[in-house]
Structure 1
Amino acid sequence: MKWTEASVVPVRVFSTDEVSDLVRRDGAAVLTGVPDERTALSAGLRSLGTKGVRIGRQIEATQRNEAAQARAVAEQPSDDKGRKRAFTLATERMPPHNDGYAFGDFAPDHLFLWCERPAAVGGDSFLVDTSRLLDLFAADPDNADMIPFCWNVAVDHSEPNYPQDRLQPLVRLTPRGRFQGRYHPYLSAADGPTRERDRTFVRRWEHAVLSARDHGPMFRLEAGDLLCIDNYRMLHGRDSHNDPRRRLCAIWGWSTDAVSLPEGALDINDPWAAAASSTGA
């Protein structure tokens, strides 16, 4: 299946000095031998080099915390389209996504996932390269019409109950020249006369992304691994597991290449609280 060519297994390295070039070239890398979260934060910041602006832990992914977040999400009402924000439990395979998609332009441009303890069984990771996905569409005459749509037609990137301030295309070059390709499970066509037509394009993008996830290779993060990701380019997620002792920390990083830099912490249950007073990076 051709979409699996967009699935990526990152190179494993032992030195922070190698991470920056690999992330720039491949979109991701795994730094091994990271003993604790403090070292992971330091390594992530070093990998950003002179462009590093801010880094910090966003979430600790455990079944306990996942359950608490799921309860918080469940208490929120449906939006005007009848949609309700969901949360992927440990026993479910994650949808591919860029971290922080609910925050729009305030999402981090770099993501670091530090594994303290992997699941005994399951929980393997996957990566989908949206730039490679775009190349695959371009090379297929039956899908060539996806290219102008992806670049030029604005769609709704909002989560239920968290509307973003403007519509944007699926892929773009950021003001600082970074490629950005996005996907999350709430993507929808914009309201208007072409909504039904645009919906078919969004579904084709979704089909390709999910095919790459479901049929492409996965890889395992072991204890002490730090997965370093270009969060603008790569979609990520993990397979299902049922191990309450699994612990992984998501660390968000912003560089001077980021579209916008939030001043305060970004809250998964209140996405715009900190972003409202933020500035461009």
Structure 2
Amino acid sequence: MNVSSAHGSVLGSTVGILPERVGAGRTRDARRLLARDGAVVLTGWECSADGLFAAAAGVLGSGLRQLFPPRLRRAADAGPVHLHADSFDVLLDVGGVPVRQRDPDEDHVLVQCVDAPVSGGASFLADAYRFVDDCREADPELWAFLTGYDVDLYGAWAGQVRGLPDTPRVARHVEYTRGGRRVVRRTDGAVPLHRDPEAGHVRAMLDRFEKAVHALEDGLPRFTLAEGEILLLDNYRCWHGRDAHDGDRAVRILTLRTADAR
């Protein structure tokens, strides 16, 4: 296998991505690298929620359409987080007005390092487009499932999360926006549709998909974020995860939709 160590490149025949770092004054470069690689690390922005919003506006500019409330995630001595794409469906009633907190079609994610752990916690990324393209020949049955079968994206969490709508969110793992942008989903909440006659097959393929994705993780390149650094992802193209860590770790997460979102 021909493995390149160049930052920002897809590594050989694998799906790993190692994002480049770009300073706050180089927003055009950040936009170009995001389009090329699906991910970029932004440096030099204020380590705060305001800095996170400023970075999103600076790089994505007039394409921004909807930003969701930032989430501060703290964890101590935590286990690994497997590869996934951010998406959820949360709707609140605030003073009688429906307010969307999360959206199944969030197309970009920003993860800002607030506190780095004592050890571990390295991040890793996979190019989901490459994974699906490779599946077409390496595992045609899995490819057919990802591109051709409807699932309930969040059915595994039904009745467990307040604000999650009762109506099933039906979608395929691989879909396209009206403008032709490909969406490749990866969530632990997917289950077969209610009374799907092929429910057994769907469960088997969901398990196969999960195992195939987890099998990628050990071979992916690792990188760490310093305090204040921001990982900006194309959420339709990239899956992200992190290793287990010792000590406290805190990140601030901002998800959003742009004009190109589904």
Name the TM tier (shorter chain).
0.7 to 0.9
Aligned to 1:255, which of 228, 253, 258?
258
**Cα gap change, 1:106/1:206 in structure 2, threshold over 3 Å: closer, same or farther?**
closer
* Secondary structure of the corresponding residue to residue 218 of structure 1: coil
Identity among equivalent pairs (%): 28
User: Alpha carbons of 1:4 and 1:24: their partners in 2 closer, same or farther (altered >3 Å)?
Assistant: same
Q: Which moved more, 1:94-103 or 1:230-239?
A: 94-103
Aligned residues of 2:125 and 2:239 also touching (Cα < 8 A): yes
Equivalent position to 1:216, from 216, 220, 233? 220
Aligned to 1:101: 88
Partners in 2 of 1:19 and 1:122 — Cα distance? 27
The corresponding residue for 2:183 is: 180
Contact kept in structure 1, 2:152 and 2:168, CA below 8 Å: no
Q: 1:262-277 residue pairs with structure 2 within 5 A?
A: none
Name which of 139, 157, 175 aligns with 1:160.
157
Relative distance call for 1:133 and 1:55 in structure 2 (3 A) is: same
Q: Which segments of 5 or more consecutive residues in structure 2 lack a partner in the other structure?
A: 2-10, 91-101, 159-163
Q: Is the contact between residue 3 and residue 209 of structure 1 (CA under 8 Å) also seen in structure 2?
A: no
SS at match of 1:254: strand
CA contact (8 A) 1:57 1:249 kept: no
Amino acid at match of 1:155: V
Q: Displacement, 1:164?
A: 4.7
Distance across 2 between alignment mates of 1:228 and 1:34: 12
Q: How has the CA–CA distance of structure 1 residues 22 and 108 changed in structure 2, closer, same or farther, with 3 Å as cutoff?
A: same
2:208 is aligned to: 204
- Note the aligned Cα RMSD (angstroms): 2.5
d(CA) in 1 for partners of 2:218, 2:126: 11
* Aligned residue among 144, 147, 151 for 2:147: 151
Could you give the per-residue CA deviations for residues 94-132 of structure 1, whole angstroms, max 9, x where no partner exists? 132222334585442111011133112011111122111
1:60 aligns with 2:67: no
Counterpart-to-counterpart distance in 2, 1:155 and 1:114: 31
CA distance in 2 between counterparts of 1:166 and 1:253 reads: 19
TM-score, length-scaled by structure 2:
0.79
Aligned partner of 2:128 among 130, 140, 145: 130
- Structure 1 or 2: more strand by fraction: 2
Question: What is the CA distance between 1:22 and its match in structure 2?
Answer: 1.7
AA aligned opposite 2:84: H
- Match in the other structure for 2:119: 121
- Structure 1 gaps of 5+ residues are 64-88, 260-281
